[in-house]
């Protein structure tokens, strides 16, 4: 399809395990966002890319969280040494322009840390 694609859809990790979440944005979209959504809450901003440049990582909760978008398309969010509080849905969104308005979201990756 032509939408934002995320994989895996579901991930169960043992505490302390490293995980990698993938996002395929809509082709040609300049802006890419990662959000974290806890149960019953709105999405919380994690980080923003403009093409391959990570311009804002102010929302990353700790240095265990790392994101990259090396070629300006696919992005990976990596979480090292997962903790139970990392359990959430991780949403990726892309928009066409640098100052683009509408952001299109992927279906998210539901991470459960046990």
What is the binding site for another protein (CB under 8 A)? Answer: 31, 33, 35, 40-45, 48, 50, 55-56, 91, 93, 95, 98-103, 105-108
In Å, what is the CA distance from 73 to each residue of 50, 85, 100?
A: 10, 29, 16
In the bound complex, what is the minimum distance in angstroms from residue 102's beta carbon to another protein? 5
Least separation in angstroms between CB 35 and another protein: 8
- Count Cβ neighbours within 10 Å for each residue of 74-108 and write b for 16 or more, e otherwise: ebebebeebeeebbbbbbbbbbeeeeeeebbebeb
Q: How far is the CB of 98 from another protein (least distance, A)?
A: 6
82 or 109: CB nearest another protein: 109
Choose between 9 and 15: whose C-beta lies nearer to another protein: 9
Complex with another protein: residue 41 or 112, whichever CB lies closer: 41
């Amino acid at each position: 399809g032509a939408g934002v694609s995320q994989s895996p859809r579901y991930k169960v990790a043992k505490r302390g395990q490293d995980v990698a979440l993938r996002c395929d944005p809509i082709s040609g979209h300049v802006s890419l966002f990662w959000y974290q959504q806890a149960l019953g809450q709105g999405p919380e901003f994690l980080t923003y890319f403009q093409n391959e440049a990570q311009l804002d990582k102010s929302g990353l909760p700790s240095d265990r969280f790392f994101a990259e978008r090396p070629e300006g398309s696919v992005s990976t969010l990596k979480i090292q040494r997962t903790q139970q509080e990392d359990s959430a849905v991780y949403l990726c969104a892309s928009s066409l322009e640098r100052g683009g308005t509408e952001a299109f979201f992927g279906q998210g990756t539901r991470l459960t840390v046990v």
